[in-house]
Amino acid sequence: MNKLKSLVAVFCIVFSITASAQLGTSSPYSRFGLGDLQGNVFPAYNALGGGVTALSSTNSVNPSNPASYTSFRPNSFLFSTGGLHKTTKIQNSTDKQVANNSAFSHLTIAFPINRKLGASIGMLPYSNIGYMLSARDNDANADMIYSGDGGVSKVYFGGAYEPFKGFSVGMNASYLFGGLNRRKNLNFDDESFLDSRSNSSINLKGYYYELGLMYKKQLADEKEVSFGLTANNNSSIRAKRTNIVETISGANEIVKDTALSSVEWGDINLPQYISTGVSYRDGKKWLLVADYSMQNWADYSLLGEGDDLKNSTCLSGGLQYTPEFNSVTKYYKRMQYRLGAAYSNTPLMLNDTQLKEMSVSFGFGIPVRKSRTKYDVSLTLGQRGTTDNNLIKEQFLRFGLSVSYDGIWFVKRKYD
C-alpha cells in the first residue's frame, strides 16, 4: 500500500503541474479548428507509426482502445509518463524558419479489477495552438499580425470487460478542458494613428465517450491475430467565447477605447471518429500492426460556425522485433526494435488543396528487469503541407521519451 500511496501522490503532483501544460506547437496551420490535434503521444506507439487500434499488452497501457484494459496481469499496477520534443522547419516559396517545442506528453495509470475487468485513468493532450503570422497592407501603410496560443487537454477514465475468452469491450469517459486564444493586431506606420487589436478567447469543457472492441484469435503456439475497432459519435462540448476589440496607442499599447466587448455561450461539435486495426504476434519476437481511421471534420462547428474543414483519413502501420526476450548474457537482445510509417489526408483544405502528412518512425523499448521499469524512445521524421499554391510546408523531427513502471499491488505479506 505504501507503493500505491506514493504513485497516487506522484499522479496528483504531476496532474497539478501539467493541468494547463500543452504539447507545444509553432505551426501556422494550428490557427484552424481546435488547433494541431495531438493524436497518439506515446513514444512506443509513435515508433510503430501510430497503428495501435488492435494492440494490447500485459505491461503497457493503450488508451486509444479501451478494450485493451483486460490484458493486464493479476495484481499488476502500471504507471507511465513522458515527454516530447519537436523541431519543425517551416517554409513557403520565399522564406523559412526553424521552431522548437518541448512539453509533457502523457500520464497514465492502469490496473486489473478481476480476471474479466480492467481499468485505466490518465491525462493526455488533445490539441494545441501556437502561431504568429504577419502581412502587409500597403494601402493603409500598416502591418497586420495574427497570433494564437493555448490548447485543450483530456482527462479520461476507462474500463473494459471480457465477456468470453478472446473478446473484450471497453469505454473511455473523457473530460476535455482548456482555452484557445486568437489575436489580431493592426499597427500603422504613422504614429499619429491609433492602432487596434482584437482577441477572441474560447474556453471549453465537457464530456465525450469512446467505445472500443477487440477480438483475439489464437492461430498456433504463441501465434495470435487481433482485430480492433474504436469509435465515438458526434459530441457537443460546452464553450464560452469572449471577444474584445480595442484601440491602442504607443509602444506600451495603452488602451484608448474599447470598441467591442462581448461574451457568447454555445457548443463545439466534435465530429464522429472511427478506427479499425489488425495486429499479428509471433510469440514475443515479432509484432506487426496496421490501422485505418477516418473522422468527419466537415461536421465540425464552433458556436454554429464551421471552419471549412474536410473529412480526414489516416493509414498507418509498423513492426516490432525482439531478438531474444529472455536473453541472460546479451542485453541488446532483450530490447524491442520498432519501425513504422503513416500517411494521412488532414482536415485542412486551403487554396483548393487538401494537405497531406507523411512520416516514418523508429524507436526502442529498453527494459530494466530488476526494477520492472521500461524506457521507450521514438524518433519520427515527417512532412505536412506543400509550398505549391502559396501554401506552407512543414518538415518535422519529433523525439519522444517515456518511462513505465509495472508494479505489483494487493499482495498479502508473508511471514516465516
Q: pLDDT tens, 84-142?
A: 999 999 998 888 899 999 888 899 999 999 989 999 999 999 999 999 888 888 887 88
Give pLDDT, residue 22. 45
Domains present along the chain, CATH in parentheses: 2-407 (2.40.160.60)
pTM for this model (two decimals) = 0.86
d(C-alpha 230, C-alpha 51), whole Å: 12
Which stretches of the chain drop beneath a pLDDT of 70? Answer: 1-24, 250-252, 409-416
| CA-closest candidate to residue 272, choices 238, 312, 228 | 312
Residue pLDDT, tens place only, 16-26: 444 444 446 88
Q: Is residue 129 left, alpha or beta, with left meaning phi > 0 and alpha meaning psi from -120 to 50?
A: beta
**Torsion angle in degrees (nearest 10) through CA of 111, 177, 294, 62:** -10
